[in-house]
Amino acid sequence: MLSLLFMKYWPRGWHMLKKWLAGICLIGLAVYMCWTFYENYTKKEEVGIEEGQKAPDFSLKTLSGEEASLSDYKGKKVLLNFWATWCHPCRKEMPAMEELQKEHSEIAVVAVNFTSAEKGEKTVKQFADSLHLTFPILIDKSGINADYSVLTYPTTYILDEKGVIQQIYAGTMTKKQMKQKLGLN
């Protein structure tokens, strides 16, 4: 009955309506596919190891035997430093990191030691004691440095208060550079 009424008022009939509906559906499908493609390929993953991504959380023991997680520092800017005692550039920048931490309590300096490449935790402890380091030194025996794709030492990740990676720096930094990258000037 409906088709008879439609054919009476639409001279070309039902077939023309089906073509129009099919065309509208195809256009809608194309728009949906383009939007999905745009959304998937223009936004970065929420968690990752690139600038603009939320740094992956991890938990490690500190030199003092306590458990510490990266998420413990949420709400503070973080200077996340990957280092080793046998790395001469690392030795050079550690005093600057200590000074920075003492001068700016609003930021967190977190040093992740590549412990699986050390002679042992005792070596790390002696190193930290010799430089009077007070910031947390995390013992990495599980490969967090590999999770962060650390290829050279030192490598530093600058995180904002939400844990999002703002900058990645491979190599030694001066205190002035650290302050600049943390926005403390």
Instruction: Tell me the pLDDT tens digit for each residue of 143-184.
Output: 999 999 999 999 999 999 999 999 999 999 999 999 999 999
What is the distance of C-alpha 3 from the center of its chain? 60
Q: Is the pLDDT of residue 8 over 70?
A: no
User: What was the pLDDT predicted at 3?
Assistant: 57
Q: Is the pLDDT of residue 40 over 80?
A: no
Count of all residues that appear for the chain in the document: 185
Which residues, 6+ apart, have CB-to-CB distance to 138 below 8 Å? Answer: 60, 61, 62, 68, 110, 111, 112, 113, 144
Question: 117 falls in which pLDDT band (50, 70, 90)?
Answer: confident
Average pLDDT, the chain: 87
Which residues, 6+ apart, have CB-to-CB distance to 70 below 8 Å? Answer: 55, 56, 57, 58, 59, 78, 80, 110, 163
This prediction has a pTM of 0.76
Question: 25 falls in which pLDDT band (50, 70, 90)?
Answer: low
CA–CA dist 84, 177 (Å, integer): 20
Of 163, 119, 159, 115, the closest CA to residue 141 belongs to 115
User: What was the pLDDT predicted at 47?
Assistant: 86
User: What was the pLDDT predicted at 161?
Assistant: 96
Looking at CATH, the fold of the domain delimited by 59-182 is given as Glutaredoxin (3.40.30)
Q: Where are the domains of the chain?
A: 2-42, 59-182
Q: Is the pLDDT of residue 30 over 60?
A: yes
- DSSP SS3 for 94: helix
Strand partners, 59: 69
Name the one residue in this structure whose structure tokens are 């030199």.
63
Question: 115 falls in which pLDDT band (50, 70, 90)?
Answer: confident
Question: 20 falls in which pLDDT band (50, 70, 90)?
Answer: low
Strand partners, 108: 78
Q: Are strands 77-83 and 107-113 parallel, antiparallel or unpaired?
A: parallel
Strand partners, 31: none
What are the pLDDT digits (tens) for 92-101? 999 999 999 9
Burial label, 53 (beta-carbon count in 10 A; 0-12, 13-18, 19+): middle
CA–CA dist 60, 141 (Å, integer): 9
- DSSP SS3 for 141: coil
